[in-house]
Structure 1
Amino acid sequence: MEKERRKPVCLIAAACRGLGIGKDGKLPWHLPSEFKFFIDSITGVSKPGKMNLLIWGTRCWFSTPEVLFPMANTLHVVLSKTLESAPKHAHFLCKDFDSAVLLASQPPLSDVIETIWVIGGVQPYKDALKHPWCDLIYLTDVRATFDCDVFFPEFDKRVFQLQDKFPGVPSEIQEENGIQFKYEVFKKKTDL
């Protein structure tokens, strides 16, 4: 068996005050430019023929509008212990987070996958934060309070440190529809 090839594992989300990320299966805010940044991040690859693997929790997958599929340069894996087969538009079904990461790091996918993006929900985020390959958290700070029923997990800011500037990520405070937000990237310290 060929050796697995380590792939970067990145989390991406937008969270309001109190780390709220959703309400009733939807985003509680309407920020089209922030959503475009999200899509551009998860679909961006270094060259044609490369792909990113997106890891989705079941509820997150089924709450995503079908109009978003297909997405350029992406393969989708849905995590579920109960589904029998991959849902419509998904490419793979895995029982747990580690299986999904393994899928991307072994042939034949290891030759095409550049980045593993964890899209949500809460359990995939928690699993990713504990994974040794997880090194970046893209967490847009929505600078307002919204009623949420789903929350981004707390993480150790001594381990994942906020970057002053990060390539390809605007560093200024943005505003849309009267809501201020700031793109933030946290990078795992390498000397732990």
Structure 2
Amino acid sequence: MEVNQPNKAERKPVRLIAAVCKDMGIGKDGKLPWNLPSEFQYFLNTVSRVSRPGRKNVMIWGKLCWYSKPEDMLPLANSLHVVLSTTLSAIPDNAHFLCRDFESAIRTVSQPPLADQVETIWIVGGTRVYEDALKHPWCDLVYLTHIMAEFDCDVFFPEFDRELFKVQERFPDVPSEIQEDNGIKYKCQVFKKLIGDLV
């Protein structure tokens, strides 16, 4: 029986976002293997969009992912950054929080005083962080851009249940038609977790 949890977590949507090539690759040597400025802008717009002024989204990064991001990406509007690491002893520059694992990151941003301003928790990689997020009961959407080409990758997006997460034909603020940039075609998709499995 739960008794007086003073800092009970306030449920927030946990959403994964990634771009993957044909074999689900997401990176090579700590970098994106492709150069798609329009797709990257779509990513930035998505993770920084909030419903009203004063609200914030949280981005959760694995350490390697954090240090491989483009240098000019930050600061990013409406965003707080959590870096996961078991080895770092200080919060990295431009980040707001350092946590040892995924669960502690979720607790940190879903309890007072932060809970009042946090709107969405975005998971931006790498593989282990995506795996943890897919198992989390608050996970409801996976934003996955399918890059319609093959690239040599050494980091991959984890497999997930396509029966549990169903692709949406149309979704707000997500282009439904195939896009093209630098001669490479890609399609932005959203997979929604079936409501019956949300707890």
Q: TM-score interval w.r.t. the shorter chain?
A: over 0.9
Is 2:123 aligned against 1:118? yes
Q: Which residue of 2 is the match for residue 150 of structure 1?
A: 155
Q: Deviation digits for residues 3-46 of structure 1, max 9, x if unmatched?
A: 22100000000000010001111111111110000000011111
| Residues 1-192 of structure 1 mapped to structure 2, 5 A cutoff | 1-192=6-197
Query: Deviation above 6 Å: which 4+ runs of structure 1?
Result: none
Q: Distance in 2 between matches of 1:111 and 1:174?
A: 37
* TM-score, with structure 1 as normaliser: 0.98
Deviation at 1:70, TM superposition (A): 1.0
Secondary structure, counterpart of 1:120 in structure 2: coil
Query: How many equivalent residue pairs?
Result: 192
Q: Is the 8 A contact 1:20 1:152 kept in 2?
A: yes
Structure 1 residue runs without a partner (length 5+)? none
Deviation at 1:97, TM superposition (A): 0.4
Deviation at 1:85, TM superposition (A): 1.4
* TM-score, with structure 2 as normaliser: 0.95
Q: Distance in 2 between matches of 1:69 and 1:96?
A: 23
Secondary structure, counterpart of 1:114 in structure 2: strand
Q: Distance in 1 between matches of 2:149 and 2:83?
A: 30
Q: Deviation digits for residues 117-147 of structure 1, max 9, x if unmatched?
A: 0010011000000000001000000000000
Deviation at 1:103, TM superposition (A): 1.2
Q: Which residue of 1 is the match for residue 3 of structure 2?
A: none
Q: Percent identity?
A: 61
